Amino acid sequence: MPTTLKKIFLTIACCLAFIAGLGALGSFAEASNGAPAATAVAQAQPATATAAEAVKKPEAREISIVKGVTSIAERTGIAGFLAKDGWKSLFMIVIGAVLLYLGVVKDFEPMLLVPIGFGTILVNVPFAGMGEPPHGLLYMIFEFGLKNELLPLLIFIGIGALSDFGPLLANPRMAILGAAAQFGVFGTLLGVMALNLVPGFDYSLMEACAIAIIGGADGPTSIYVSSLFAPHLMGSIAVAAYSYMALVPLIQPPIMRALTTEAERKIKMHQVRPVHKMEKVLFPLFVTGLVIFILPSALPLMGSFAFGNFVKESGCLDRLSKTMQNELMNLATIFLGLGVGMQMSAEKFMNLETIGILILGMLAFSLGTAGGVIFAKIMNVVWPKNPVNPLIGSAGVSAFPMAARVSNKLGLEADPHNFLLMHALGANVAGQIGSVVAAGVILAIFGY
């Protein structure tokens, strides 16, 4: 039996190699005539022609084994990669494989990087049409899930159901740190203006705003704003946002150590007070009310976030709460990642704009971390009798809960008895709210 299987596999491999060879020869022949192999089929069969019209053509009724095999060979992936600019698609497939490696092997945001990586591979396969209208799977996911902002909002419902505002309510001063960390968002706008002075870079103001949201370290918010302001940059922005969120344990500690002294890192904070259940129930309603009267442009994001949290804290909708935290969140995450991967095609990703986004994303993230730490130190000047450990300021970015864990880890390194996790979680949740408010302000500026 094993010998028979070997023969079968060998036969199939030889056939595929033969067809691939014909495709390669066809691509070289087309290239020598000035027409890439990848366009050969498009020239013979216009995209607007229907299947019925194609059958009526004389060449469609001819029976020719040679033409049939040649047509198959010209539509192999090898032929597509050998065509003009085909190497770019192959390179993007490698990028997708790298994202899969980071998600699976390195455990860097696997919930998002794995779907994004797989979507990147699928959309760059020649002749597959995964990202082409009207029936490409990735195209439909993007068109009906991301272009109309549905999936980011569903993600926010799930995040709200997973969040706990208790640490923030126990120590309301942490809201200041969540606001301070948004300095990365607005500071990056200046960075975009500076980068525009470099030849080859030319970002519009709306593109700059979409990139700057990376500073909030909030993936769904970044995707939501970019879907409105710069959908052509969504793939690059999403990959930058989630990559830097995954790299929080590497990016933040050097900045935190550089901006604090040993004595500041050893500051101990008082235990947070118990929070009454009614406070947790009313808080999402209170936040929603503020947004309704002050910043309605942020209501789609904040309303979804508050709805999920209210369902969780009410205590009488356990089934809905569990659905939001599990099934709804998981499905939305899968489709969100695949939809973002659809924007990772070679023509959209391989350009100077992507390099600029990666640079500006790092700047935004670093400024957000630094802003939180510096404002924590300022708070100690204002309230010297009740000092705040500046390490928790970095948790003001909304990379939940990784940023809070990093703050706690550095606090334990300075003093093994210094537990900062609950305080840092308060700043972390405040950062989530702060990133939504920052996005709402930007949306309001442009009249959205």
* Rounded CA Rg of the chain: 26
**Where are the strands (E) in 162-316, listed by range?**
none
Top-confidence range, 22-26, 200-204, 277-281: 277-281
The DSSP secondary-structure symbol of 326 reads I
Find the mean pLDDT for residues 265-285. 89
pLDDT at site 57 = 55
Task: Tell me how far apart the alpha carbons of residues 342 and 79 are, in angstroms, rounded to a whole number.
Answer: 22
Per-residue three-class SS string for 399-416:
CCCHHHHHHHHHHHHHCC
Judge whether residue 311 has pLDDT over 90.
yes
CA 74 to chain centre: 35
Find the mean pLDDT for residues 20-47. 45
Find the mean pLDDT for residues 173-181. 87
Give tens-digit pLDDT for 194-240: 888 888 888 888 888 888 888 777 888 888 999 889 888 888 888 88
Q: By the 8 A CB rule, do 387 and 375 touch? A: no
Identify the CA nearest to 93 among candidates 136, 137, 123: 123
pLDDT at site 384 = 85
Identify the CA nearest to 127 among candidates 69, 66, 98, 86: 86
Query: Crossing angle of helices 299-314/219-229, nearest 10°?
Result: 150
Judge whether residue 298 has pLDDT over 70.
yes
Identify the CA nearest to 303 among candidates 145, 179, 149, 143: 149
Task: Tell me how far apart the alpha carbons of residues 411 and 46 are, in angstroms, rounded to a whole number.
Answer: 64
N-to-C CA span, the chain: 66
Judge whether residue 10 has pLDDT over 50.
yes
pLDDT at site 281 = 95
Task: Tell me how far apart the alpha carbons of residues 122 and 107 are, in angstroms, rounded to a whole number.
Answer: 22
pLDDT at site 34 = 46
What are the extents of the domains in the chain?
A: 2-82, 142-445
What is the DSSP code string of 192-213?
HHHHTTSTT----HHHHHHHHG
The DSSP secondary-structure symbol of 38 reads G
Give tens-digit pLDDT for 396-411: 887 777 888 899 999 9
Top-confidence range, 18-22, 45-49, 89-93, 343-347: 89-93
The DSSP secondary-structure symbol of 385 reads T
Task: Tell me how far apart the alpha carbons of residues 307 and 325 are, in angstroms, rounded to a whole number.
Answer: 12
Top-confidence range, 140-154, 285-299, 376-390, 391-405: 285-299
pLDDT at site 101 = 92
What is the DSSP code string of 325-393?
IIIIHHHHHHHHHHHHHHT--HHHHSSHHHHHHHHHHHHHHHHHHHHHHHHHHHHHHH-TTS---GGGG
Task: Tell me how far apart the alpha carbons of residues 350 and 358 are, in angstroms, rounded to a whole number.
Answer: 12
Give tens-digit pLDDT for 87-114: 999 999 999 999 899 889 988 778 888 9
Task: Tell me how far apart the alpha carbons of residues 243 and 44 are, in angstroms, rounded to a whole number.
Answer: 42
pLDDT at site 432 = 87
Find the mean pLDDT for residues 55-77. 68
- CB count, 10 Å around CB of 202? 12
Q: Kindly report which listed range (6-15, 170-179, 391-400) carries the lowest average pLDDT score.
A: 6-15
Find the mean pLDDT for residues 385-389. 89
pLDDT at site 447 = 74
Task: Tell me how far apart the alpha carbons of residues 229 and 439 are, in angstroms, rounded to a whole number.
Answer: 11
Q: Kindly report which listed range (10-19, 155-164, 204-213, 246-255) carries the lowest average pLDDT score.
A: 10-19
Q: Which pLDDT band, with edges at 50, 70 and 90, does 25 fall under?
A: low
Q: What is the mean pLDDT of the chain?
A: 83
